[in-house]
Structure 1
Amino acid sequence: VKNASGDSQTITAKYLVGCDGAKSAVRHALDFTFEGNTIDALFYVADVEMEFSESHDAIYVTFGADSFVAFFPMQGENKWRIIGNLPEEMKRDENEIDYGEIENKIRSETQLPLHIKGVKWFSVYRVHSRRVDKFRDGRCFLAGDAAHIHTPAGGQGMNTGIQDAYNLAWKMACVLRGDAAEQILDTYNEERLPNAERLLGTTDRMFNLAAGSDWLFGLIRTTVFPPLAKYILSFDVVKERFFPLISQIGINYRDGSLSEHAGDREFAVKAGDRLPYFLVDGKSIYDKLREPKFHLLTFSDGTSDDHTMTGEVESANAHLVDHHVVPLYPQVTELFGTDQPFHVLLRPDNYIGFISPETSLSRLKIYLKEVIGHS
C-alpha cells in the first residue's frame, strides 16, 4: 500500500476486508462481479444555512412529475441538508451543473417560503444499483459500498455499511482470539448477502415512487400520495412497519445457522431477531449491552438466585460472555409472549442466538461449543 506521503509499505495480515467504497480497488483486484444498473438520473446533495418557516425537527419532502426534493434538519440553527434529483430536461454531465441551477430548481419545485442564506457544500452525482454475488472469497471480504450501492431513497446506505462491518467484525474478532471456529466467517455472507438483495429491491421501488419516469408512478406521486401520506403515516400500525424497514432494525437472521430455534417455539420473538427495545429501571436495555461480547439475559420472576449464575458465567468466559438479570416486567412478557422465567443469549451485535425456557447454563455451553465452535 501507499501512505499519504507516497511511500510504499507491505502489510502482512490473516484477513483483508475491502471497505473502500463504490470504486473498490479490492473488489476489482479480486474480480468480484458487480452486477446491476445505472439509474438514468442525476442526484444532488447540498448542506445549507436556510431560514425555513417549518419546524426544525422533521423531514420535509416535495414531489414533482419526475423529481423530488427532501429537506433533512441537521445539527445547528438553520442547518439543513437538501437532497433531490434533476429532471430529464437537465440531463448533462455532473460537472456541468452548478449550484445556481440546483437552487432555482429547488425554489420552483417546492414553492415553499424558504431563504437559502449560504451553501457549505454541494455535489452532483449519478446513482447505481449494484451488488456483488458474494461477500467473501477465501480470506478476503467486502463490506459497505464496496459490496453494494443503491439509490439514496430511504437513506439506508450508512446503516447498511455499519451493519456489514459490525457483523463481520465480531465474528472475525472471535476467530482471531481463538473463541470461535473459522467456519463462523461463512455466516457473514450467509446473513448479509440476502439483506443486500432485499435492500436493492426496496430502494429501487422507493426511487421509482419518488422520482421514476413512469407515468403511473408520476400520477401516484403528484396526486394520490401527498394527500394520503400524512393520514396513512398517522396510524400506529403503519409506523410500526415503516420505521423498522427504514431504520433496518427489522432485519432478522432467523434462517441463519447461528440461530438456534430448539427452545423458541412458544415465544413471540425468535432466534435471529434483533432484541426488542424495552426499558429497565427507566433506561434502555441497550445501555447494558455496549460491551462487544455475548450477553446472556436471565428474565427472572425473582424466585431463584439468578445472581449466583453471573459468577458461574463470567468465571468461565468473562472475556466472551456477560450476564444480566432482568425482571419480568409487563412490557417484557408482552413482547416475548410469556410470563415464565427464560434465558436469551445475544450475539455481540445484539441479535438473538437462542431463547430457552430452561434457565440453567446447559444451553449456553451447548451453543458456544456446537454453534460458535468455542472449545
Structure 2
Amino acid sequence: MRAAVLYAPVPAGTSYTTARPLVIEELDRPKPRAGELGVEITYSSLCHSDLSVVDGSRVRPLPMALGHEAVGRVAAVGPGVMDVSVGDHVVLVFVPSCGKCRACRAGRPALCHRAAEVNGTGDLLHGEALLRSRTGERINHHLGVSAFADYAVVARESAVVIDDDVPDTTAAMFGCAVLTGMGTVLNTAALTPGQSVAVFGLGAVGLSAVMAAAIGGAAAVIAVDPNEAKHQLARDCGATAVGTPDDAPRLIADLTGDGVDIAVEAVGSAGVIASCLDFLTRGGAVVSVGLPNPSAELTVPALQFAGAGKRLLGSYMGDAVPERDLPLYLGWWREGRLPVELLHTDTRPLAEINEGLDALAAGHVVRRLFRA
C-alpha cells in the first residue's frame, strides 16, 4: 500500500512544496483484525487539522500516516463484523466511538473517551497500530483513519455505510467538514428557526455551518472572512450577508439590532472567540469549533456570562452521531438543500499532497481532494 507519512513537523510559513514533509511511501499492507475493516480509499480530503499536525501545532506521535477524511470501498472484513460486506460504500469518520464509555452512554459518541485515548497514541480502537514501513518501523495511524493512502485498516466504528448513488467526490467531504460544520449549528448550538447566526471563518467547516444555518431556518446568516474570494461562495451556501471582520459590527447591528443568537468561531483563534462574545445578544451562544494553538489563552470579561446569560460552547466533530447524522445530511443533499459540491475546489493526485498543504495554508482552496 501507499501512504503519505510525516516523520517530522515543519514550521508554519515554510514552503511545504520545497520541504516536502509528507513522504509517499510503500508500506506493508495489513489485514483487518477482529472488529476492523480493510478499505480501498478512492478519495481523501485535506483539512486544516492535517496541516496543524504538519506544522507541529497539534502534537501527534511520529512517524504518522496522515489524513482523516475519506471515502472508499470495503475490501476486507475482519472477524466479528457482521453488518458490513466487501464492496460496501463507506465514509470514514475520525472518532471511532466505543459505545461503552461515559460519553458514549450519554449519547455523545464524538467525545468518546476510548477514541480520544487511541487517537492520541496513534493506535486503533481494537488494537495497537498496524502500519509498518518496509523495514519494520511502526507508523502511527492518524485519528484512526490515515486517509492519505490507497488503503486503510480502520475500526468498524470508523466507517458509515452509504448508498452507491453518492459520488465519491461528494461523499469524501462528509466525514469531517460536513459532520463538523453542520453539527456545530444543529447539534451543539441547537439552532431553532428564526434565530440569527454569524459564522467567522469560511473554510469547509465554516461554510458547512453556513449551510446548516440556512437549512435550519435562521432568519439571518452572516458569514465573515478576510478572504473576499470566499464571499460569493458563502452566499451560494446560504449566507444572507457576507463581509470581512471589519464589516462584521455593521452587518450584525443592521441585521439583528443587538447581536446574534449564535456565533460560530471556525477560525481557530482565541481573539476571534473573544470578539464573538461581543457580537452576541443577551442569552446568545458562541460555539468554538476551530482548533487554536494549544498555547493560546482566552481572556474575556467574566460578567458576560452571569450578567448577560451568554454561553461559550465547545464543539468537537459537531457533537455528531455519525450513524444518525450522515443519512440525514445525505437526504438533504439528495433534495438539493445541501450543496456540498460547492466545497470541492479541485482534485489532484496524492503525489501532490505537499503542494496541497501550501494551497490550504494560503487560503487558495476550500477542500482539495486527492485521488489514491
- State the structure with bigger RCO (CA 8 A, min sep 6), 1 or 2: 2
Specify the TM-score bucket, using the shorter chain as the normaliser.
under 0.3
**Scaled by the length of structure 1, what TM-score is found?**
0.24
